[in-house]
Amino acid sequence: MPPLYLYDDYDRCLDEFPERATYCLVDSWIVPNDSAPLWSVIEQFSADRKRSFRHDRLQRGLCMNRCHQLLTRFDPRTQMKYFRARFEPNDSQVITFDPNTFRGALDWRNRYRRLANQCVNYELKRQYSLMAYTTVEYCTTNRAQTDRDVRVSAVQAAPEALGDAGHIQTMKYVSFPSFTTLFLFHFFFSDKIDVTFLFVLGTLLTLTLLSTGYDCYRYRQARPHHGGTIVDGLRDYYRSGLERPGVSRATVLLVAFSLPRNWHLLTTARRKVSSTATKDLRFIQSVRFLIMYLVIAGHSMLFNCIFPLQNPQYVELNYRRVITMLIFNGITVVQTYFTVSGFLLAVHFVDFAEKQRRFRCWDYLQSIVYRFLRLTPVYAFMLLLDATWLIRLQDGPIWKRVAETERTYCRTNWWANVLYVNNYVTVSEPCLQQTWYLATDFQLFAIELAILALTWRYPKLLKPLLAVAVLGALLIPAIVTYVNRFEGVVILRPEALKYVLWYDPMYRKMYIPTHTNFGSYLAGLIAGLLYHRLKRANFDAVRHRGFRTLWYVSLPTAIVLLLSAYIFYAYDFEKPALWIAAYAALAKNLWGALFGVLFVGLAFGVGGFLRTALNNSIFRPLGKVTYCVFLCHLFVIRVTLGNIRQPIYVSDMRILVSTSSTLVLAYIMGTLMCLLIEIPFSNVQKTLFFYKPENIYKEEIQLVCNGCANESNSTVKNTKEIEQES
């Protein structure tokens, strides 16, 4: 069969032709031809849409100057033999990017539509006796393209250059200013948003420098009061805190961006804590880190599989193995974060409500606003980075696909991200695609907090409300699955992976919406309420045989749940079917329930060595940084993998290396973002809204949003007083 991907030498093309060398990425659809023996093979192999790529859909990287030289050797009649007019596939809608996604794409498409068509068919007809219709996705040239390029070329391009006569003529261009002049103009003046990012970054660095300098000055003033080494002095200085009598709010704000102080907040371990709940829930930090590792591993494999492949059979064969369902159905692990969020919400809400004895509407609104302000600063920074400077960091034949889509969508759809509704709107044009989780989690937080507030105000509603919520959590995925004729699990079709699932109906309607993810969050919330009730009853989980048995079978059951997805990949069942809908409802909710049991057990001391390992203090900083890592890890993957020149040979070892390097680089970048943005803005927020001059050092297990410190207003008011660890 024709290779799915075939690229001309990108760098040679742009270097070999000094006068406007042009390299285009094109998509081709093979025209059905029953008389060609190879067509039946392509058709049969591509029929398994759940496990195979469409081998009648090809991608080519073409050096248009080479194509021009190739085709001009033939007379016009011979050139026409390699042209195929547009046709509409019978089986499904053709998926391709909106040409407005790429700057100047419409101009490139008009300029090279015939030449690209004939160049691809020259290969297919001579080698495989097949023909294809080809469309240009975008082009790259060895000179800077400006808006003036697009306007002028659209007006002055000769009709012959477009190939409307069916053959190739010499292409005509207009003269432009030098490359250096255009580059400098574009770099420094043409894009105000790019300049805005530099201003924001410069402001953050300046604030950090000034705040660190002021903090060092205060330390030197206080140093005579401390004995011992410099390290001991610094430890005592930061341990004493700032929220004490005699320290003004202005002073606290002035050191909010202090780098050494924020590093101390991030890394310093604690002594025994006075709060039993905080001590019980130390394992949460390790859960954050481990799930983040699995998310990075999954996304590393995803990007390795959606990039041009030299061996697509690696992906197709893995779809046919049971054990690899742990990976392809591994997207379910994201439900763990929802369970963690629900669990911690319930724990902190009960702690707060028991002390305050009331939870008013004002408290509810404050919690929502506080959460928004807690999440948004570092989130907005990543939005701005992807919308501006990402596109400048690499190049290559697929770099525009990797980076310019992000640039365009972040500039047009940023509002959906900031309002946390990007799990319902702009799904097919996502900015920071992984942040659908933030939108879903934010909405679930508001819903579940309202449920808790109602049950606290009216205790008799607790059981009825939870019963209705559980019923809804089961019915909604079942109804969505049945009505849309979906499979029992979210299927990652190879062809859909090419577009990162943007246009996949099951991803849009089943995987990311709030209403279909309600169950896992609810399971965590119920587990948190159960933890409090059992804690008051002095429940001994370690000695309770029934609970220990349930706890030890939870993780194996979760693994079996992942493996069970194989039946939906291997077989085609008649749909809609009630049993498939029931399976979807069970699978969507069972994961959260199983991990709810695991969390309650770990909190009560079940797990032995596993619990000891999860409570290790090394996970504390790793867990606290995971929100920033979650936001930046796809940026790292794009920058490190997006500059490929030829289709890659993917293997288990390549994916392992990619995962490991991404993990390390993402944690470095995430730590910097945490120290420069997340912790400083958290300090400012707490000082402005909840400042109290008390001589305490504060820490709590915070409500999780992929490792984010997303505590509600209630958790801030109910902060635990903790002694530091020596």
Of residues 200 and 186, more confidently modeled: 200
Instruction: Answer yes or no: are the C-beta atoms of 619 and 289 closer than 8 Å.
Output: yes
Of the candidates 580, 558, 404, the residue with the CA atom closest to the CA atom of residue 491: 580
For residue 691, what pLDDT band results from cuts at 50, 70 and 90?
low
Is pLDDT at 665 greater than 90 in this prediction?
yes
For residue 510, what pLDDT band results from cuts at 50, 70 and 90?
very high
Of the candidates 351, 720, 705, the residue with the CA atom closest to the CA atom of residue 528: 351
Q: Look at phi and psi of residue 706 and say left if phi exceeds 0, alpha if psi is from -120 to 50, else beta.
A: left
Phi, psi of 7 (to 5 degrees): -120, 135
Domains of the chain, residue spans: 5-142, 193-272, 273-714
Give the percent of the chain with pLDDT over 70. Answer: 82
For residue 156, what pLDDT band results from cuts at 50, 70 and 90?
very low
Is pLDDT at 147 greater than 70 in this prediction?
no
Give the percent of the chain with pLDDT over 90. Answer: 57
**What pLDDT score was predicted for residue 239?**
65
**What pLDDT score was predicted for residue 186?**
52
Q: How far is it, in rounded angstroms, from Cα 87 to Cα 107?
A: 21
* pLDDT, the chain, mean: 84
The Cα angle at residue 425 between residues 420 and 429, in degrees rounded to 5: 105
Segment 678-689, tens digit of pLDDT: 999 999 998 888
For residue 566, what pLDDT band results from cuts at 50, 70 and 90?
very high
Is pLDDT at 208 greater than 90 in this prediction?
yes
Segment 89-120, tens digit of pLDDT: 666 555 666 767 888 888 888 899 899 999 99
* 191-201 mean pLDDT: 91
193, two tokens: 């948003």
Distance set, CA 638 to CA 117, 314, 643 (Å):
30, 22, 8
**What pLDDT score was predicted for residue 180?**
54
Of the candidates 357, 375, 291, 337, the residue with the CA atom closest to the CA atom of residue 712: 375
Of the candidates 509, 520, 512, the residue with the CA atom closest to the CA atom of residue 588: 520
**What pLDDT score was predicted for residue 157?**
37
Phi, psi of 56 (to 5 degrees): -100, 5
**What pLDDT score was predicted for residue 275?**
60
328, two tokens: 């392809």
Q: How far is it, in rounded angstroms, from Cα 720 to Cα 696?
A: 9
Q: How far is it, in rounded angstroms, from Cα 169 to Cα 163?
A: 7
**DSSP 8-state secondary structure symbol assigned to residue 425:** S
Segment 429-467, tens digit of pLDDT: 999 999 999 999 999 999 999 999 999 888 899 999 999
Is omega for the bond preceding 576 within 30 degrees of 0, making it cis?
Answer: yes
Q: How far is it, in rounded angstroms, from Cα 357 to Cα 341?
A: 23
Instruction: Answer yes or no: are the C-beta atoms of 119 and 73 closer than 8 Å.
Output: no
* 553-577 mean pLDDT: 93
Is pLDDT at 178 greater than 80 in this prediction?
no
Is pLDDT at 513 greater than 70 in this prediction?
yes
Segment 117-138, tens digit of pLDDT: 999 999 999 899 899 999 999 9
Q: How far is it, in rounded angstroms, from Cα 211 to Cα 201?
A: 15
**DSSP 8-state secondary structure symbol assigned to residue 382:** H
**What pLDDT score was predicted for residue 80?**
84
Of the candidates 504, 481, 510, the residue with the CA atom closest to the CA atom of residue 334: 510
**What pLDDT score was predicted for residue 245?**
55
**What pLDDT score was predicted for residue 668?**
97
56, two tokens: 């009648």
222, two tokens: 């206080």
Whether pTM exceeds 0.75:
yes
